[in-house]
Structure 1
Amino acid sequence: MKKKISALTLIAGMLLLNLSCSQEDDTAQDVLDLEKLTGSTSKQWQMVKITPNDDQEHASCQVDHPRNLDNYHTFWADGRFEHDNGEVHEDKNCNQAGCCSDAVDLKGYWEVKPGTDTLIVTFDQRRDYSSEEFTSIPTIQTFWRVALTSLTDQRFVIQTTDPEDNITYTAEFINR
């Protein structure tokens, strides 16, 4: 059965296509107090909204589905990043085409390019749940390359435009 791409995977795929996009802003670093993203050591964030969300038709693909509610993104002050997909990976009631799954944890690094609002997250390992072991990916891969449009102690928002269909996607995260 073919699985539908989850909202987070959709954003990640779009962002891989959007590698050449960088938005310059002279005041970006003044506005972006990056300690709000990481705290003094680390902070966990949960995606709570993605727009537009009309292409996520199946309930298992929605941000508020139980499969997604245990997913977290951790940003460390030293530049490390982790995308934790939690314990729920499948919707056991979903046995048709169009269902989403999220059986991959990612570990890597994050940075904001100096003088910009461009947040870049890369990963260098993934967890293979079929073998219960970590496997190395031979090269660093970009997970996100997005504009960090809003950042507070309790909320941040990212945005990117899919170059193929010119749709702008926005994702909102809250501090866990």
Structure 2
Amino acid sequence: MSKTALQSRKNILIMFFLLLFFWSIIDGKLTVESVLLGACSATLILYLNRDILFTRADGGPVTARFLWHFTTLIAVLIVEIVKSNINVAKIVLNPKMPIAPSFVRVPVRFRKDFNKVLYGNVVTLTPGTLTVDIVGDEYIVHALTREAAEGLQGSALEEHVLRLEEKVK
């Protein structure tokens, strides 16, 4: 059996037991019938969602390493959204309205189209910035302030998306 087949089976088992654990928490009972019904439900969920759960949009398998890097990306994204919301609120609530809207060109550091689109959406989700277009090897981004524009290159979010591309095989 190949290494990818073993990894795939391992991922299926991990997901099965996570779903079964979630089922037992929601059900609140640990009877034989409840566990069997949970096992049947977990199996059905895994079967019906096998294409979604175990292959990435770029065609590679979903591995534990990929899930870890994706989870850390989501966590960093949430922190950055909160920080950006606070910054935008400060700007909007300031009577002088210290904005300096501009369009900036940000170089694309990703090879895979999926990661290019993912990072463009990440930038758009962050308040104060909006990805307008991807032209060749550059993003065209509208930024509310000069600081927001300067913070795009080499950002923590960009590094986390790069980890998805480079370190996850």
Which of the five TM-score ranges fits, normalised by the shorter chain? under 0.3
TM-score of the superposed pair, with normalisation by structure 1? 0.24
- From the two aligned structures, give the one with the greater strand fraction: 1
Point out the structure with the larger helix share. Answer: 2
Length-normalised TM-score, structure 2: 0.25
The structure having more radius of gyration, on CA atoms, is 2
